[in-house]
Amino acid sequence: MNNTNLQDLYQSILIQHSKSPSHYGKFEGFTHFSEGYNALCGDAISIYLSVKKGTVEKASFESASCAICKASASILLDAIEGSSAETFSSVQNGFSEILEGNSEGQSEALSAEILAFQGIKEFPSRKNCALLPYTTFQKALNSEIKD
């Protein structure tokens, strides 16, 4: 597949996730929660998690954000729901490498949806939009809700 076709595919994935995001909306019974805000562009996101015995059993988000942030949250939660916190660390590290343009060896380890963010490296000001769901997810993991 040539570079133009690959870019078109990646753009299509991001548009799909921004228009019809997976895991959108608050759910009852979440055990972890965090809010994130990007002061540079105004993106705001809330992450809701249900974590039991180290596994993210359910995850969702709500946002008032740009398409990149919304697509990033949707794709992240697709990748992590049903997985362990350790899996999140691996996905987060791979995602950060992609945004920095260091995607060598990442294509087998990460989903096509996550790899769709490779083009963001060309727009440094948008990296924070893509990273906001990841930093907010990490904060949510670290802050359990008390009854």
For the chain, the domains span: 3-141
The predicted pLDDT at position 122 comes to 81
Model pTM?
A: 0.88
Torsion of CA 91, 54, 139, 50, to 10 degrees: 110
CATH code of domain 3-141: 3.90.1010.10
Q: 73-124: per-residue pLDDT in tens?
A: 999 999 999 998 888 888 898 888 888 877 665 556 677 788 888 888 888 8
Q: 42-63: per-residue pLDDT in tens?
A: 999 999 999 999 899 999 999 9
The predicted pLDDT at position 93 comes to 87
